[in-house]
Amino acid sequence: MPAMRGHAARLAWTLWVVCLALALLNLVLNVVEPASLDPLLPRPFPPPVAVLQFALVMAFPTVGALIDSRQPSNPIGWLECGSTLCEALWTTAGSYARYGVLGRIVGRAERLDLSNPKAGFE
């Protein structure tokens, strides 16, 4: 049983690190290009709100990792880690997509033409 607990703790904290990296990447994208923010967020996006949002996003995987490292058979911790990982992937992918549509991706010479369905396939 202690071996399972060690593996579960390692997995839980690895999920926490991945969530942290995605949240930081999302924050950097939003600072570099404010237009990459979710359109439903207030404009301008004040720094205290960004810090609060980051803290709230990281609260769930932190609690989940703490629960999982102590009680690996408890599904609540895994649900918190997994749902936050999905949310972090979704929000970071959305910010990166908006960043890419603006033509700011390194190596892209022209902006993505969404009006042409065959753009990029020639």
Whether residue 106 contacts residue 118, with contact meaning beta carbons closer than 8 Å, is answered with no
- Read off the pLDDT of residues 49-92 as tens digits, 9 standing for 90 and up: 888 888 988 999 999 999 999 999 999 999 999 999 999 999 88
pTM of the model: 0.75
Sign of CA pseudo-dihedral 45, 46, 51, 53: negative
Listed by start position, the domains of the chain span: 2-101
How far apart, in whole angstroms, are the C-alpha atoms of residue 83 and residue 76? 10
CA–CA distances in Å: residue 66 to residues 18, 59, 69, 86 = 15, 11, 5, 19
